[in-house]
Amino acid sequence: MNWWRCISALPLIFVVLAAHPETITFEIYALPKGEPPQLLAKGIKTYTSSDIKSTEYPLAGAQYWAKTLQLNEEFYIGGSIYREPKLGGFGLWVKRRPGPFEFWSTGGFSWEWFDYRQQNDVYRKLQGTGRVKVTMLRGSGYEEIGSVEFLDDVTMRLNDQPWFTFSLEKTHHVIIRKGSVLRFAP
């Protein structure tokens, strides 16, 4: 057996694994006041690690990343990724890309916290229902989220009102369907 051929093929295997596509199945609803929710979009987003946008933010003595994935032309989902000795909980969020004349918009406010770490790195949504399984990347003295698999349908809430209205009402729901995977790392 030519072991050199096997070893030389390893970089190709890693490239193929990193390019493995994932899917997120979603539905997006507008929540007009006094009316039933209105379906704006639904679909399946197939993506690879190259579709994940990452912005690094240095903190005093630490750092974190905001990592996002565009679901459609208007909405995207993301997470705040920290390196911690033991991850206790984490936040996921959705945003809406502002229109050309929405100079006041920052994409809205959304924050869904997952905590109560259970066996096998399963976390439960703090407000509302839903569980996710997290795949951890582990390094010397830390762990961080590599991917999030949705074990249940999870409703992500968005308030896309201008900040100066001081409204706490939700304007949109983005439902991420069971079986979807949000992969932050290749």
Q: Where are the domains of the chain?
A: 22-183
Residues forming a β-bridge with 142: 139
What mean pLDDT is reported for the chain? 85
- Token pair 């502002």: residue: 98
Label residue 104 by pLDDT band (50, 70, 90).
Answer: low
Task: For residue 91, give Cα distances in angstroms to 26, 66, 69.
Answer: 18, 10, 15
Q: Is the pLDDT of residue 102 over 70?
A: no
Give the model confidence (pLDDT) of 20-62 as tens digits: 899 999 999 999 988 999 999 999 999 999 999 999 988 776 7
What tokens does 101 get?
């004349």
The confidence score (pLDDT) of residue 3 equals: 45
Q: Is the pLDDT of residue 81 over 60?
A: yes
Across the range 62-86, mean pLDDT stands at 91
The confidence score (pLDDT) of residue 13 equals: 42
- Spell out the residues 6+ positions from residue 65 whose beta carbon is closer than 8 angstroms to its own: 54, 55, 56, 57, 80, 81
- Separation between Cα atoms, residue 52 and residue 67, nearest integer Å: 6
For the chain, percent of residues with pLDDT exceeding 90: 56
Q: Which of 13-22, 66-75, 153-162 has the lowest mean pLDDT?
A: 13-22
- Separation between Cα atoms, residue 174 and residue 158, nearest integer Å: 8
The confidence score (pLDDT) of residue 109 equals: 83
Label residue 146 by pLDDT band (50, 70, 90).
Answer: very high
Judge contact between 184 and 146, C-beta under 8 A: yes
Q: Amino acid identity, residue 44?
A: I
- Separation between Cα atoms, residue 170 and residue 43, nearest integer Å: 22
- Spell out the residues 6+ positions from residue 112 whose beta carbon is closer than 8 angstroms to its own: 91, 92, 93, 125, 126, 127, 128, 154, 156, 157
- Residue that wins the pLDDT comparison between 13 and 117: 117
Q: Evaluate if pTM is beyond 0.75.
A: yes
- Separation between Cα atoms, residue 90 and residue 93, nearest integer Å: 10
